[in-house]
Each structure stands twice: as structure tokens, then as C-alpha cells.
A and B are shown apart, each in its own frame.
Chain A
Amino acid sequence: MSSTQSLGTATEVVKAATRRPSRIGSMIRRPLPAMGAVLLLILISVSIGAPWITAQDPFDMNVVDRLQPPNETYFFGTDAFGRDIFTRTLYGGRVSLIIGVSVAVTSTVIGLIIGIIAGYFRMADAILMRIMDGLMAIPGILLAIGLMSLTRASIWVVIIAITIPEVPRVVRLVRSVVLTVREQVYIQAAGAIGTRFPRLMLKHILPNTFAPLIVQATYIAASAVLIESYLSFLGVGTPPEIPSWGNIIAEGRLYVQIAFWNILFPSIFLALMVLSINILGDGLRDMLDPRLARRI
């Protein structure tokens, strides 16, 4: 945030100073974001390093060893085809990482472009925001499910299907920042001395959107990982031959009563990844955007 924005009115400053609870809270909360970051780093490392951590192949079927409970050979047990759940869970993290990062980056970039256009050009604003309102009226998972039905499933289709419902939220955020900033005196001053639009946008307006966007992108990544698992769980997500966490769980649900480890371990990894990203997002929000932190 720029300094002009964080200053606020005198009463706000006084209020913030007399706000008793948040200071104690933030001190206790401080170690949490670091823990989230470390946890996420561990999950990323074991996913990328999967081939070096486990000697097994995620697709290898040992029908003799089907539905084995966790033991020394198979740490997390085996599934109905005798595949090693531990290995599949590690490899599943790769799918989630690809989807989380891709959706976060794509929706942020698209949302940024549309949001700037909407925020700066009054003519485009009305039309673009009506489209965004319409998109937001359809629950995200439902829209993603609908989009998934349009073509043959692949990881890229999953990414697009999850990205589209996330875009309006980014657009709204960027638009609101642009609308606030464009009224600031320094923007008018820059305009008055003849700064051209591209430079005005890149140098003076765009940087204001970075802090809230980074926070938003983090939350989007967490939600994308979760939605991918929901889509795959429902059988309309990542192609079933790819070992994503949602797919492992979708296959395991048939045997939940006799082999619960089929869904337990991938679910725990999934929850830990989403949790670590969310905690990281909260930490980034408190750090980069204290005004937002007070509101939520």
C-alpha cells in the first residue's frame, strides 16, 4: 500500500492506536505464518522429490498385495489394484501443486487486466462488471463442473474450469483499488504533467494492486487445490489415470469400510497443503495489508 493510503484520517489513527486486542493477538499469531511456510515447503519438497523418496512406481500394480493395511513395505497401505498409496500420495502432490499455482497465476493475470480496464475506462466498466456479477451468481464448483462437461478432461481443462469462477473476485479487488487510487492527488498530478496512460498505469497505479493481489492469489491457490480434489472426487475432474489426491480418494471411497487408509492419507496431505497455504495467506495479509487484516 502506498503511504498516502495507509495514513487515513486522524480519528482512524487514534482508533488504531487504542485498539487493545490486536497487538497481543498479532504477537501470538506471528509464528504461525512461518510454520505454514515450512509445512508448505516440506509438502512441495516431498512432491517434487517423490522419485527419490520412494522406490515404487505410482502406477505399479501388485494384485497379490491389494488392499494391504499400512506396513513396513507400504507405509500408507495399498489400494484395490495393489498400488502403493504412499507413492501415489507423494505424486498426487505434484498434480495439486501444478493446479494450485497455475490457477492462482492465470486468474490473477486475467483478473488484473480486466480489473484495470474496468477501473479506468467508465465505458467498459458497466459491461465488464455485469459479466462478472453474472459469473459470481453461479457457485464456483457448479460452474467448474459445467465447464468440465464441455470437452475431454485433462489437467489443462481442470485448470481452466477452476480459473474462470475465480476471475471475478480478482477483477473486483483490482477494480476497487484502481478506483480508489485514480482519485488520489498524485495520480492527478502525474496526469497534469503529461504522463501518458501506459506509464501512469504501470508506474503509479499497478504497484498499489500488488499487495492485495499476492494475498488473494495465495487464497486462490488453496481453494484451487481443494476444488480440484472435489471435482476428481465427483468423477468429473482430472482424468482418472492420473494419481491426483482427489482421484486416489475417489477410487478409495468404494473400499472405505474395509480399507480406510485409501482415503485417509491423501485426505490428510490435501488438508495439510490447503491449511499451510491458507496460513501463509493470512500471514502475508497481516504483513502486506494491515488494513485488510483489521477488516477480516
Chain B
Amino acid sequence: MGNYVARRIFATIPVMGVVAIIVFLMLRLSPGDPAAIIAGDHATSDEIAEIREHLGLDRPLLEQFIRWLGQLVSGDFGVSIYMEQPVLGLILERVEPTLALAISTMIFAIALAVPLGVIAAWRAGSWVDQTIMALSVLAFSVPVFLIGYGLVMGFSLALELLPVQGFVSISEDPIGFLQHILLPTVALGLVYTALLARITRATMLETLNEDYIRTARAKGLAEPRVLILHALKNASVPIVTTIGTGLALLIGGVVVTESVFAVPGIGRLTIDAVLQRDYPVIQGVILVIAGVYVLVNLAIDLTYSLLDPRIRY
């Protein structure tokens, strides 16, 4: 047990190491001079030289990497070139809207997808199943901005029920927070819902074919009890795993959704950084997001190994 936990935790180190190498090499291996890229199109050669020296780009590659890695480990993600503030501070300033949107989307998607997936598997092949599956393919294909602007046109502009855009902190105004977060959550949540509904249906289909389900039905248990306590409980591992891996899809969608609804989150920070070629910020965002992604998936794996003793990879 402890052995597995230790191994699983240890396994995240090479992954994060590779992420660090990728992020580090991205700028160095790009066509052209990184200092010139950072300086922008109109920089003078003096400015470029200054940036090169400031970032230590004139040193050997390995030395640069080790120095950079040492800084990362001590929590120093560098300083934004454009805003001249520590990158980690900039990210933390913007984390609340992004986190709020991601969490509300997960709640929305799980609450909607799991019942839909269970019903689709329970009535597999029926028109209910066909409709749910067709809608999930549709949700996969419709771009976030079409759903987003559609919702804004309907609920904000035509019906004037909800604000068009922006974000309000939950600590300042809980009602305003809910009003602002509702439309982005739905716009972003549909793709994630589709993904989870599909995996729920697939694993439920397999579980419903097990012998113990037939036994449960044969001994006269009520169908909801069979579905939820016997089938869903046993089908939950792949579903929760997909919630974790689907986080990558969710985070990508967050960037676009924040842009549609003018939410001042990490997505906005990233796009501004790319437009200004603020490389330390881009690197910082990628590292932090990848770190969160790896940690969440680690937490999910460990939780399951504690709950279900059969799981040992």
C-alpha cells in the first residue's frame, strides 16, 4: 500500500521534469533568437543584447537550465517583462475567476452527465439513448463561442436576465457571482458534459452486463438501487479518471470562455502575455497549469487506491 503511494508520487517527478524541459527548450529551440523574440519587432540591437544578458541567454544551455530549475524549485518563476512583476504573483492574482469557473463547470457537468449517462446505458438502444448520444456528439462539435454568444444573445441581451460579461468575486457579492458565472459555466460545461456522459454510458453498459447485476435484479431489488448502488458504484473508477484527464480539455476551454465573457482570469493573462511576447509569464502559466493537472490526477489515483484495494498499477 505505502509502497504504491510512494511509487505513484515518485512517478510525477519525471513528468514534471519533462514539462520543465519542454517549457525551457520551447523558447531556446524556436527559430530565431529568443532575445529578439522577447524584445519584439521594433527593438534595437542594444535592447536585444540587454535582454539576452538579463535572462542569461548568453550562457551555455545546460547552465541556463540548471539555474532556471533552481529558481523554479525555490518558487521563483521569473519576472514579467511587460508588467515587471513576479510571474507567480501575477498568476495568483488571476487565479480566482479561473478556479471558480473551472469548479462550477465541473459541478455542472458532473451533475448533468452522470444521470444522462446512466439513463442512456440503462435504456441502451432506445430513442432516449440515441438522443443523449446524438446531443453529446453535437456538444463535442459546437465551438464554445457559438454557445457562449448564443446564451449572451438570449439571456443577457434579449431577456436581460443575466449580465453580458465580467466577473464578480464570491466574497464580495455571492448573488452577483452566481449571475456572472452561470452563462460561462453552461457554455464551457457542455463539452465536458458530453465527454463524461459518453464514458459514463460506456462503463455502465459494461457493468450492467456483470453477473452481480443479474443477481441483484433477480433477488428483487428496486431498479434505482441496482443502477446506483450496484452498477454506478462499480463503474465509478473510469468515470472519475475521465473527470481528471478531461481536465486538460476543460482548461483549454476555460481560456476561450474567459475571452468570450471577458473574465479577467489566467486565460486572459496568457493571451495578453502571448500578444506581448511576455515569455516568463507564458512559461509560468504552462508550468503551473501542468502542475495542477498532474497533482489533480495524482490525487484521484491515490484516492481510488485507498477506496478500492484492487487497484494497483
Contact = CB atoms under 8 A, between A and B. Distances in A.
Nearest to B41: A152
B198 interface: yes
Contacts of A28: 125, 130
Contacts of B294: 137
Contacts of B15: 130, 133-134, 137
B137 A279 contact: yes
Contacts of A130: 14-15, 18
A151 B143 contact: no
Interface in B247-304: 247-249, 251-253, 255-256, 259-260, 270-271, 273-275, 277, 279, 282-283, 285-286, 289-290, 293-294
28 contacts: A20-B125, A21-B129, A24-B125, A25-B129, A130-B14, A134-B15, A138-B286, A138-B293, A139-B247, A139-B293, A140-B248, A142-B251, A142-B255, A145-B255, A145-B271, A150-B37, A222-B141, A233-B256, A233-B259, A236-B275, A260-B153, A264-B146, A267-B146, A270-B143, A274-B142, A279-B137, A294-B205, A296-B199
A130 B253 CA distance: 26
Contacts of A15: 209
A89 interface: no
- What size tier do the contact residues of chain A reach? 35 or more
A282 B255 CA distance: 28
Given A146-B26, A149-B277, A150-B37, A229 B143 contact: yes
A73 interface: no
Given A25-B124, A139-B252, 4 more contacts: A21-B124, A256-B152, A263-B146, A274-B142
B202 A295 contact: yes
A271 interface: yes
B140 interface: yes
A150 B149 contact: no
A205 interface: no
Interface in A252-296: 253, 256-257, 260, 263-264, 267-268, 270-271, 274-275, 278-279, 282, 294-296
A142 B149 contact: no
Contacts of B124: 21-22, 25
Nearest to A233: B145
B157 interface: yes
B209 A271 contact: no
Contacts of A236: 271, 274-275
Nearest to A28: B130
A137 B290 contact: yes
Interface stretch (B27-35, B61-69, B219-227): B27-35
A266 B227 CA distance: 43
A19 B247 CA distance: 32
State the 7 A-B residue pairs at the shortest beta-carbon distance, nearest first. A134-B18, A141-B252, A21-B124, A150-B30, A275-B141, A21-B125, A267-B146
B30 to A, nearest CB: 4
A76 to B, nearest CB: 15
Contacts of B146: 263-264, 267-268, 270-271
B289 to A, nearest CB: 6
B22 interface: yes
Contact of A139 (B17, B249, B277): B249
Among A24, A142, A268, max chain B CB count under 10 A is at A142
A226 B19 contact: no
A171 to B, nearest CB: 14
A136 B248 CA distance: 9
Contact of A133 (B18, B141, B142, B153): B18
B138 interface: yes
Contacts of B175: none
B83 interface: no
Per DSSP, are chain B's interface residues mostly helix, strand or loop, or mixed? helix
Contacts of A270: 143, 146
A222 to B, nearest CB: 7
A131 interface: yes
Contacts of B282: 145-146, 149
Contacts of A233: 143, 145, 256, 259
B266 to A, nearest CB: 10
Interface in A192-247: 222, 226-227, 229-230, 233-236
Contacts of B111: none
Contact of B140 (A137, A147, A278, A294): A278
A230 B37 contact: no
Contacts of B19: 134, 137-138
Interface string A6-43: 00000000010001111111001100000000000000
A163 to B, nearest CB: 15
A143 interface: yes
A136 B245 CA distance: 10
Nearest to A133: B15
A138 B290 contact: yes
Given A151-B31, A263-B149, A278-B140, A296 B249 contact: no
A263 B150 CA distance: 10
A90 interface: no
A170 interface: no
A224 to B, nearest CB: 13
A235 B14 contact: no
A135 interface: yes
Contacts of A146: 23, 26, 274, 282-283, 286
A275 B140 CA distance: 8
Nearest to A140: B252
B21 interface: yes
A278 B142 CA distance: 11
